[in-house]
Chain A
Amino acid sequence: MADLNVGDAIPDLKVTPDKYLTHRYAGASGDFNPIHIDPEFAKAVGLPGTILHGLYMMGLVARANAALADGDPRALKRLSVQFRGMGAPETEIVVSGTVKSVDGDRVVIDTVAAQGDNLTIRNAEAEIQL
């Protein structure tokens, strides 16, 4: 278990989703919205190409926070995110976070997910129980 204090940075999680990740995520999640899997459809609605599922990136945020409890799926009690920038396949995602508060065994972490300067998830707040 991590020893966490207010202001501590959590370890970054870095993931580069490959070209077909959105197809596998669609299958795993059941979200087959064509903006995620069909480049022609995505371009027709004004997007640069297929975009990542927001909930996939939220899944990475959950993973980065659960890692503080050695990946114990019971540790994450609450996760709240705002989706902002669009995420693109084949571009590295960096999930980073800072401890916001510690109350006994409950730790709240401010988390963001970014691709370069593009913050795809901001104002993410994770509450974990260690």
Chain B
Amino acid sequence: MSVKKEAIGKEWPATKYEVGKEKIGEYARVLGIENPVHFDREAAKAAGFRDVVAPPMFAVVYSSPAVGPAMFDSEVGMNFAAMVHGGQEFEWDEPACSGDEITTTAKCLAISEKDGKGFYIFETNAVNQNGDQVVKGTWTCIVRGV
């Protein structure tokens, strides 16, 4: 067996996600983050944000719906039973705030094979309603026994 490479370069339809104040708070609390800019509108505005601001890693909340269909695409053909999330990178620009509408696209950057493992790399790119760059994500999945 070997990896299929036809999906390299494939792009998937953009997803939209409207950021909500309470969802930001829920996410921040799980991580034990206590800065009031993630919970309190006045504190966020006083710190220079448009509204309650998301912690950086909230990027997974609005990026995952974009990358999910890419990972499950049969053209990519990952065997999920043998898949692990091997690596992740995010590069942040404009912070995501409550009320923002984030549009995220996903693309397959690379598929390769080494020592019986398949390496699948996806890129997501998120922009807000003003066209400002929000975050770029690079998602590496490793599949054993390809």
Tell me the A residues contacting B by CB distance below 8 Å.
15, 21, 24-25, 27-31, 45, 54-56, 58-60, 62-63, 66, 70-74, 76-83
Contacts and interface: CB of A to CB of B under 8 A. Distances in A.
Contact of B89 (A70, A76, A81): A81
A63 B29 CA distance: 12
Given A55-B57, A63-B55, A83-B87, A25 B95 contact: no
Which bracket fits the contact residues of B? 20 to 34
Interface string B24-49: 00110111111101100000000100
Nearest to A45: B81
Interface of B: 23, 26-27, 29-35, 37-38, 47, 53-57, 60-61, 64-65, 81, 84-92, 95, 138
A77 B27 CA distance: 19
24 contacts: A28-B26, A28-B27, A28-B29, A28-B30, A28-B61, A29-B27, A29-B30, A29-B60, A29-B61, A30-B64, A31-B64, A55-B85, A58-B57, A60-B31, A62-B55, A71-B34, A73-B56, A73-B95, A74-B95, A78-B92, A79-B57, A79-B89, A79-B90, A81-B89
